[in-house]
Amino acid sequence: MNLPDTPSLAPNHTELPRPTTTPGKPFKETASDGFILGGFTWRHPSRDAARPVVIINAATSVRCRHYSRFADYLFAHGFDVITYDYRGIGESRPASLKGLQASWTDWGTLDFEAMLKRGQREFPEQPINVVGHSFGGCAAGLGASGQLIRHLVTVGAQFAYWRDYAPAHRWRMFGKWHVVMPLVTMLCGYFPGKRLGWLEDTPAGVVRDWSTPTARYEKRPSGQEIHVRNFAAVTAKALAISISDDPYGTIPAIERLLAYFTGSTNTHLRIAPEDIGEKEVGHFAFFRSAYQATLWPIALSWLQNGELAPGTPGRTVPRS
């Protein structure tokens, strides 16, 4: 989904060293409608049918390079990894965003679907796991080949229903993302997020989906019942991680999205910053290497085993 004000790192945070691995190799992949997507692959030299490949779905208008350290970490723990940018963003950005027809649903049904197909083709017989940050968790349910997903980890995943925002931040966030952003987009033909220092430049169709104030995904401008039915095809073991100081990823927001994954086995883990000895984490910081020792092992354990390790911080939210 979106990029909130980035929390500062506490003074005792130091960058942990990057694992000594082969860096991601760039690739191009053509989606079913002919759009060319760009991304990076971390591939072990020898094939192993038992080795999972992890596809990382980014948050709205966050470049896939943001997840490179996390991809390094997964690679160092035995996974092959694919990161990529949605159409209009980063490695998948055309010369101009004006006139680009791209929506949230396109990012799921076309772009993520292309990555599922790439994973199946480039890593034959290997299990496919997915990590989805913010809207990336929603995108994980939109691909027509969602039945390929074995284990799914989402972080702060929701689709920006404004009433689910944390009460203390709700009206400021509503004004920023549901009033100012669409108005600026109308004037420019796309959202010039980089110029404003908010996020990456964003296609107009994505902005329309994001800013529409409806509680149902299928009621967004690009949403349809047929797309929503794709969620039910996902039969993965799914872990939804939410952070208690994330104003976007509140319990109602996380649960709203999880309710679409009717065919999967869902666990919602709620973590407070103090559970890991921090004052703040928020929506964006999970994938910073400062949390390699505290938060990343939670995702790693689930991707490896489909289970929470003993002593995992936080609490599980009861299923309604």
User: Which CATH number fits the domain that encloses residue 97?
Assistant: 3.40.50.1820
Reported as type and span, the H/E element at residue 195 is helix 193-196
Q: For residue 315, what is the enclosing H or E element?
A: strand 315-316
- Rg of the chain in Å (alpha carbons): 18
pLDDT band at 13 (very low <50, low <70, confident <90, very high): very low
> For the chain, what is the domain count?
1
pLDDT, tens only, 158-197: 999 999 999 999 999 999 999 999 999 999 999 999 999 9
On whether residue 4 sits in a domain, the answer given is: no
Reference 73, options 316, 319, 297; nearest CA is 297
CA–CA gap between residue 222 and residue 72 (Å, rounded): 34
Q: Is it the case that residue 18 has pLDDT exceeding 60?
A: no
pLDDT band at 9 (very low <50, low <70, confident <90, very high): very low
Residue 12: inside a domain: no
Residue 230: in which H helix or E strand, if any?
helix 225-232
Residues 6+ apart with CB under 8 A from 273: 243, 244, 245, 279, 280, 281
Mean pLDDT computed over every residue of the chain: 93
CA separation for the pair 134, 157 (Å, rounded): 4
Cβ proximity of 188 and 84 under 8 Å: no
Beta bridge mates, 81 = 42, 54
The answer to whether residue 17 is domain-embedded is no
Residue 191 lies in a domain: yes
Please report the sign of the dihedral spanned by the C-alpha atoms of residue 94, residue 95, residue 99, residue 103.
positive
Question: Is 96 part of any domain?
Answer: yes
Q: Which domain holds residue 246?
A: 25-316
Show the DSSP H helices in 67-124 as ranges: 68-76, 104-106, 113-122
Distance, first Cα to last Cα, the chain: 24
pLDDT tens readout for residues 194-239: 999 999 999 999 999 999 999 999 999 999 999 999 999 999 999 9
Asked if residue 5 belongs to a domain, the reply is no
Provide the whole-model pTM. 0.93
Model confidence over 47-64: pLDDT tens digits? Answer: 999 999 999 999 999 999
- Secondary structure class of 6 (helix, strand, coil): coil
Give CA–CA dist 207/308, Å, rounded.
35
